[in-house]
Structure 1
Amino acid sequence: MIKYPTAFHITDIPIVPIIFCCFLQFSAIPLAAQNDLAQTGQAVASSALEGNEAARAIDGKRETLWASGKDDEEPWLMVRLPGATELTRIQVIFGQELAPPQNFHLQYLLNGEWRNIKTVRDNGSHAADILLEKELLTDRIRLASGESQSMQVAVFGLFGQPYEDTSAMETKAVLVNQSGYNLHRTKRFTAPEIPDHTGFEIRQKNRQEVLYRGKVVEEKGDFTDFNPRSDKEYVIRVGDEESFPFRIGPYWLERVTYRLMLDFMIGARHYVGNVEEIRPLSFEWRDGDFFNWALQSFVALYLANPGAFERMEVTAPYRDNATFPETYKGLWGALEPYIEETPDIVRLIHWDADVKVSQRLDHEMQKAELAHFLYAWPYLKRWLPQQNFNRVYEYAREVWEKSTVSEHANSKYDQSPEHNLLALKTRLGTTKGEMPPGFSVIPNLMMYKVAQRENEADAHKYFQAAYRQMEWMIANLDWHDPMTTKGQRMSEHLTMRAFAYFHSQFPDQAPAGLVEKVTGWAGVALSRSDNMWDFRKYDDDDWVPPGWNETGNVLGFPAAALAAMSVLGDGDIKDKLEILVWSHMENAFGRNPTGRQFSYKGPEEVEGVDLGWYSRHKGGIGLLEELPFVFDGSPKSFHYPNHPGAGNLGWTEGWVQFNTAFNTSMAYLANYYTEISLEKKNTGQLTIRLKAPLNFHEDQTDSLAMNIRNMLGDSITVVLKEENPFSDTLTATVKIEDGGIKAEGQVLPLGKGGSIEASYGYGYFRKTATIVVE
């Protein structure tokens, strides 16, 4: 049962004007020949006596009723309709065995909160008939008691017209990732209401030749093994129906998003982005609050695929705090500037840490993020002054165990009982996404490594805190409760990433039951994903967290799934999770009930996108609408399983937290598929191969300068180049002769043991290959 009151709030502000007609006696309300929409819905209640379940209130029979449990002090009855409906009238008949409630609320769900349609006080009647002055568009209505007493409801009637947005465009019958698919990865589409075993064909756009054939099964098709080496556009045809065109490339998703990911975050910087206003609920990023997870998303991206970000054009200027008005003094500038050649992604890392330290942000989630900066320092220090590390480390050590939060560093969304990061965290946040389970695990494990690096005598306290937290999670998290998973919205990925990080970095010290717990998570995720969209649902009944713009959860779920896959051994579960990784990316790019990519400006910004989100939110706390690559919206509960006619319904607004969730997924995606190998040839040569998201453009020759090392730590640089325009691999071949490796005028002695090592990525995302060549 969904316990909505734990996640939502009641407000006494009437949102929709109504005419409250009258209270009538039980016998005065005729039910015959009325179109009661409640009878098409599902009823859920806070509690129920045996034989008096919630469904009894919507069966159209006066003689049956719902009765709340005897110990239920805040009884409520909720009806969920099959889709968004325009209600004009609500009817309630209370049971005759109890006095009717004197005070009660009629409410509807909007953006995750129960809003009052009407609050009734000093009631003395068993019946109410309420006419709405303006149609109320919703798919959920709740009757909630306004006092501590049992409640009985014989009839909860809802009347009106099924809703359909007449401005909604007709969707395609074949729904694909409009931009494109990655070569050699899972590729699927959805064809709603197409019978099983109907054939589909793939053709080049505007050509008749059939290049691939398959069958639609359970309203979806799979063309994973269609891997053309071509720069052409393709379409899928099912009978006379045709999809939007799409491309297939070695790293297509990375190609169309990497630059845009950084451009969004550069512009979203607070004070110095494309808007210089000081905004509420904003610290480092406009509308970022304390749970934006931006710093760790940048660090993860850089560690996973440094070559891709180091080669990008630098576009983010340094803005000196001294050049701003007095009201901006001290908001940033505690960290000395970076050198001129610093990549944009490192500039963003620097910005985030600088604001945290400059403003002394001591909320537990703000200070926890600093561990990612400190952990990554060995890979950042070539761009940044040593003063940066010293200031951040000093501040982090000072406030890590501080149990209180400064007023200026907090916001209305704070749910933390206290802020000591060594303390056990047992409280779950709401569907706002502000307090995911296990958010302190990775920061404490990183601080453990940093403290060891700095020869701190108390380093082990960080490990002990992470270990206790992981033990608690293994013992107490119930994956069947959506508040431990999708209910954490765009922050869900932090939980499973904590499991994966402990498993990969401390495999011999991890608590017992870690792998089994991850396996359980995967099982629940898969059980909720067997549908036409390959979409992981909120629970067995709801597709998405009720009422929310859940965009960030769709974008962040691949990071959670990939983290789980890194823990699981090869097998069927892992293979099925991989399908979900790509189906959620496909969902964000048009394979969803609306047929739209999540960005309003998608068609003009994202290569290959044909149809963007319906609208964008202008204004808001973040003032983000003019930025590139804003994820404005995603399908709501009433769009699923397939109701495109609902149209532009539900809240639409971009949020920094949505983009940082996507950033994190892209980091885990890069790492998961990165491979490096060394192969000795009989001809006295050594071949180095690297699979990583680096070959984006078929009309350019992509390359990477990589260091190879001997066991003494000596190294030389070797340039790897793409094998062909559509290859996912970069290679180089060097000579083995005279007791060394020779490449481009350099010589690397083989040294003791004759071993050579090559690696790509940094820190916890480092991939390594070693070979003995003598």
Structure 2
Amino acid sequence: MLKGRNILLVFCFMTYYGLEAQINHSLLKSVEIFPDDNTEKLKNINDGIIDSNIWESKRKNSNYSFVINFSADFVIGGSHIYLPVNKSVDFEKVSFQYYEKGEWSNFEGGTAFLKSSNLLSIVFSKTASTSKIKINFTNASNLAISEITVWGTKVPDLWYGVSKGNEKFIPKRHWVCVNQVAHNINAPKRFTVPTANADLVYYVVEKESDKVLFKGTLKNKIGDFTKFKPKTNSFSKEYFIRVKDSIFGDSDSYPFLVAEEAIQKTAYQSAVDFMNDARSMVGTHPSAYGGCPWRDGAYYTFEVPSMVMMYLSNPEVFEKMKVSINYNKEKEKILSSSFNPTKEPSDKKALSIIQSYYSELENPKDLKAPDIIQMIRFGIGWYLLDPNTKDPSGDELGWQIHNQTVEQFAFFLYGYPAYQKYISHSFYNKVLQKTLKLWDETGLFKVITKIGTPKGRHCLGHSILPNLLMYEVAKRENLSTANLFLEAAYNQTKWVIENVDWKDPKYTKGQRISEPRLITGLSHFQKNYPEFAPKGLLKKINAWSKEVIRLSENEWDFRRYDLNKNWTLPSFNEAGNVIGFPACALSVAMVTKDKQIKDRLVQIAYAHIDNFNGRNPTKDHCANNPEKGFIGVDSGWKYGDPRHDVCARLETVRGALCSLPGTEMYPFNPLGKPRHGEGWTVYNSNWNLTLAYLNFYEGISSIEILKKIPNN
């Protein structure tokens, strides 16, 4: 029997599997215990906090099994089990099992025996991909657990990724949380002071002169300076918020811009630069993690569609950007005998595909096309040559042509008239023929009822917008099948109306990075084809709006996951959801006829832009490396990916987004355990989409362009 000691059991694999190394897959995931015992404290064993939160058995001399459900398949590499200080702990052995095809199987070599040692370690002889694990404690006369963490195939150093639970944030001045980058002059402009215990006076101050330009009063910790509209529309002047208080004195925010289209204009270049740098093989690293056109991309990461939408929303700005992509130099690099890319998961065909792109496909029509157009062609050309992919992050579907890959062709085809001067018609025609062949084969004419997990792979309704775009393409090409695409969109939308309960977050924020696929599709149908829309569509859209508003009544104007304990999606880094949400809300704002709903939706939409620009409990911007291409960021995300030069190498690219506060930091706990910090192409894809819908909503371009694009 061991008493009064903090014992750490470590179970680890010695191999490395990219994305899933050093990620705690158990954090805040669903846990069950058999037999049923002390379930009210069961949540404490995977909350990321040790010492102060302890689960302790009530039975003596019993066997216990803990089942942790990850909600998606992951390759599991090990576990840390923290046993508490000053507690008597005794059990015979512990063993690990994984769930596969309806049965539990033992990890090979996955058993350890408790000894009078601070550290027990075991190396499993074989990895396993699974959606849940079972941890069995045998003959436990006394069992107490402070924390369990379950890792990918590389187990981090001891005590990694947990907090002691006794830290308390004591502010020395007011915490003035504001979008530290840019505010659009005619848009909602709000900030939060979570430390305020009264409705304090605040001022908007010009940074250069320290002159007060606007005065207001906090209400329930929120300040609203929407009416502040500087006379000079200048990108050279900055402003900040100053809060007055007799206790803390003056407390100032980070400075920010206020100007026309300031949000978009400070983001366009970094948005394009990210997509450039993150390209497989020809970007900042000679690799193709995941085997797709963008490193760490997958069939659902939406890179090409997001760029098509962003380009269509403001072509002029992208036409004026300096061209940095040199097709001929990239071709020479890839076809050189000395080119030697690194080997990465799921990249087995990547080298042959990109070599074929530069050797088999005709050269671009215009070698000096804007970067964004060259990248759209790059992504579509890659999939034209081989649309088969395999998501490396534990996806049970394996290698296949996914329908969401085929959907990307629809966006390219629809937008083609806008960039036909840069891309040949023969290339377009090859894509068209490929699309028509694969659309039916991959089930895109059918109603898709699969509801994805929080990973974000299979958002329901993802086929609605692509089918409507293909309807326009088919009409433009005088195809007899045009109505099949409209019918497919109709049937899928009708299924959503009849089967989706917006009060269940698994349909909304629970779809994480993919939620915009559904909401923008529904809004597009209602906005552009009301005469063809299923009965009840507008009512369904308004119901989504009301639920969003209900979940956003807090000092951050932040759409919560639920009103129980979860502000954000349990366990996951949901930066991509926050970044993509404004596209959802603004698309609906352009549809709803209820002014009160519209005004509040717009306010919440801009609040989410503010959130990833710093209006959050840490006051940090979403980027971990803001020096790489970002404008106006004074404080970036401080908890980046601890791994370097691994996986997709997105820490090497400009414009990479990273993470944002999770439930552990809300409503105001800056010292709460941070969510996993790691960039992902889909985060930036969602930012592209939000920039597009900002332009549509603010009238820089008309949303009508998504129904009838001018044919040049």
Q: Give the TM-score range, shorter chain.
A: 0.7 to 0.9
Q: Counterpart of 1:365?
A: 404
Mapped to 1, the partners of 2:485 and 2:115 lie a distance apart of: 58
Alpha-carbon offset, residue 155 of structure 1: 10
Within 5 Å, which residues of 2 pair with 1:377-456? 377-402=416-441, 419-456=442-479
Task: Kindly indicate whether the alpha-carbon contact (under 8 Å) linking 2:30 and 2:70 is maintained by their aligned counterparts in 1.
Answer: no
Within 5 Å, which residues of 2 pair with 1:572-591? 572-591=596-615
Mapped to 2, the partners of 1:254 and 1:651 lie a distance apart of: 27
Q: Counterpart of 1:462?
A: 485
Q: Counterpart of 1:299?
A: 308
Partner deviation per Cα, 1:615-636 (whole Å, 9 max, x = no partner): 5432232111121111022112
Alpha-carbon offset, residue 216 of structure 1: 1.0
Q: Counterpart of 1:351?
A: 378
Mapped to 2, the partners of 1:197 and 1:169 lie a distance apart of: 18
Q: Counterpart of 1:504?
A: 527
Task: Kindly indicate whether the alpha-carbon contact (under 8 Å) linking 1:111 and 1:549 is maintained by their aligned counterparts in 2.
Answer: no
The 3 A distance-change label for structure 1 pair 460 and 105 is: closer
Alpha-carbon offset, residue 157 of structure 1: 7.0
> Given the alignment, which residue of 542, 545, 555 partners 2:569?
545
SS of equivalent to 2:664: coil
Within 5 Å, which residues of 2 pair with 1:598-609? 598-603=622-627, 605-609=629-633
SS of equivalent to 2:561: coil
Mapped to 2, the partners of 1:651 and 1:343 lie a distance apart of: 34
SS of equivalent to 2:327: coil
Task: Kindly indicate whether the alpha-carbon contact (under 8 Å) linking 1:85 and 1:162 is maintained by their aligned counterparts in 2.
Answer: yes
Q: Counterpart of 1:289?
A: 298
Identity of aligned residues (%): 29
The 3 A distance-change label for structure 1 pair 386 and 121 is: closer
The size of the alignment, in residue pairs, is 593
SS of equivalent to 1:537: coil
Mapped to 1, the partners of 2:690 and 2:385 lie a distance apart of: 29
Alpha-carbon offset, residue 287 of structure 1: 0.7
The 3 A distance-change label for structure 1 pair 558 and 157 is: same
Q: Counterpart of 2:667?
A: 641
Partner deviation per Cα, 1:145-175 (whole Å, 9 max, x = no partner): 769xxxxxx9987599843789999896111
Partner deviation per Cα, 1:480-510 (whole Å, 9 max, x = no partner): 1211111111111011011011112211010
> Given the alignment, which residue of 11, 15, 18 partners 2:9?
18
Partner deviation per Cα, 1:526-547 (whole Å, 9 max, x = no partner): 1111111111111122011111
The structure with the greater share of residues assigned to strand is 1
Alpha-carbon offset, residue 93 of structure 1: 2.1
Q: Counterpart of 1:710?
A: none
Q: Counterpart of 1:85?
A: 49
Within 5 Å, which residues of 2 pair with 1:146-545? 158=146, 162-163=164-165, 173-205=175-207, 207-230=209-232, 231=234, 232-239=237-244, 240-277=250-287, 279-319=288-328, 321=331, 324-325=335-336, 327-328=351-352, 329-330=355-356, 333-334=360-361, 336-361=363-388, 362-402=401-441, 419-540=442-563, 541-545=565-569
Alpha-carbon offset, residue 120 of structure 1: 3.5
Letter in 2 for 1:387: S
SS of equivalent to 2:272: helix
> Given the alignment, which residue of 624, 629, 638 partners 2:650?
624
RMSD of the alignment, in Å?
A: 3.9
Mapped to 2, the partners of 1:351 and 1:181 lie a distance apart of: 33
Partner deviation per Cα, 1:639-681 (whole Å, 9 max, x = no partner): 111111237x33111111100000001001101110xxxxxxx
Task: Kindly indicate whether the alpha-carbon contact (under 8 Å) linking 1:284 and 1:355 is maintained by their aligned counterparts in 2.
Answer: yes
The 3 A distance-change label for structure 1 pair 488 and 112 is: farther
TM-score, normalised by the number of residues in structure 1: 0.69
The 3 A distance-change label for structure 1 pair 511 and 633 is: same
> Given the alignment, which residue of 682, 693, 696 partners 1:668?
693
The 3 A distance-change label for structure 1 pair 448 and 170 is: farther
> Whose radius of gyration is greater, 1 or 2?
1
Letter in 1 for 2:366: I
Alpha-carbon offset, residue 444 of structure 1: 1.4
Letter in 2 for 1:307: E
Partner deviation per Cα, 1:54-95 (whole Å, 9 max, x = no partner): 9x7448xxxxxxxxxxxxxxxxx53489x7523488543256
Mapped to 2, the partners of 1:314 and 1:43 lie a distance apart of: 46
Structure 1, gaps ≥5 residues long: 1-15, 21-41, 60-76, 123-127, 135-142, 148-153, 403-418, 675-691, 694-758, 768-774
Within 5 Å, which residues of 2 pair with 1:644-655? 644-646=670-672, 649-655=674-680
SS of equivalent to 1:580: helix
SS of equivalent to 1:177: coil
Mapped to 2, the partners of 1:500 and 1:536 lie a distance apart of: 19
Alpha-carbon offset, residue 348 of structure 1: 1.5
Partner deviation per Cα, 1:579-620 (whole Å, 9 max, x = no partner): 111111111111111111111232563222211111543223
Mapped to 1, the partners of 2:73 and 2:657 lie a distance apart of: 17
Mapped to 2, the partners of 1:430 and 1:255 lie a distance apart of: 35
Mapped to 1, the partners of 2:634 and 2:357 lie a distance apart of: 41
Mapped to 2, the partners of 1:229 and 1:360 lie a distance apart of: 52
SS of equivalent to 2:541: helix
Partner deviation per Cα, 1:407-448 (whole Å, 9 max, x = no partner): xxxxxxxxxxxx321121111111111111111111112222
Q: Counterpart of 2:15?
A: none
SS of equivalent to 2:506: helix
Letter in 2 for 1:348: M
Letter in 2 for 1:610: D
Partner deviation per Cα, 1:313-362 (whole Å, 9 max, x = no partner): 22222156575147443256535413134222211211111111012443
Which range moves more in the overlay, 159-168 or 368-377?
159-168
The 3 A distance-change label for structure 1 pair 216 and 95 is: same
Q: Counterpart of 2:586?
A: 562
Mapped to 2, the partners of 1:400 and 1:564 lie a distance apart of: 28
SS of equivalent to 1:400: helix
SS of equivalent to 2:50: strand
The 3 A distance-change label for structure 1 pair 374 and 131 is: farther
Mapped to 1, the partners of 2:170 and 2:72 lie a distance apart of: 21
The 3 A distance-change label for structure 1 pair 324 and 248 is: same
Partner deviation per Cα, 1:23-46 (whole Å, 9 max, x = no partner): xxxxxxxxxxxxxxxxxxx99876
Mapped to 2, the partners of 1:547 and 1:650 lie a distance apart of: 7
Task: Kindly indicate whether the alpha-carbon contact (under 8 Å) linking 1:306 and 1:761 is maintained by their aligned counterparts in 2.
Answer: no
> Given the alignment, which residue of 601, 613, 617 partners 1:593?
617
Task: Kindly indicate whether the alpha-carbon contact (under 8 Å) linking 1:187 and 1:223 is maintained by their aligned counterparts in 2.
Answer: yes
The 3 A distance-change label for structure 1 pair 103 and 600 is: closer
TM-score, normalised by the number of residues in structure 2: 0.75
Q: Counterpart of 2:105?
A: none
SS of equivalent to 2:191: strand
Mapped to 2, the partners of 1:190 and 1:112 lie a distance apart of: 38
Which range moves more in the overlay, 631-640 or 466-475?
631-640
Mapped to 2, the partners of 1:107 and 1:428 lie a distance apart of: 17
SS of equivalent to 2:590: helix
Letter in 1 for 2:263: L
Structure 2, gaps ≥5 residues long: 1-6, 12-27, 82-92, 97-112, 120-131, 137-141, 148-161, 245-249, 338-350, 389-400
Letter in 1 for 2:213: L
SS of equivalent to 1:236: strand
Mapped to 1, the partners of 2:72 and 2:492 lie a distance apart of: 34
Mapped to 1, the partners of 2:649 and 2:502 lie a distance apart of: 36
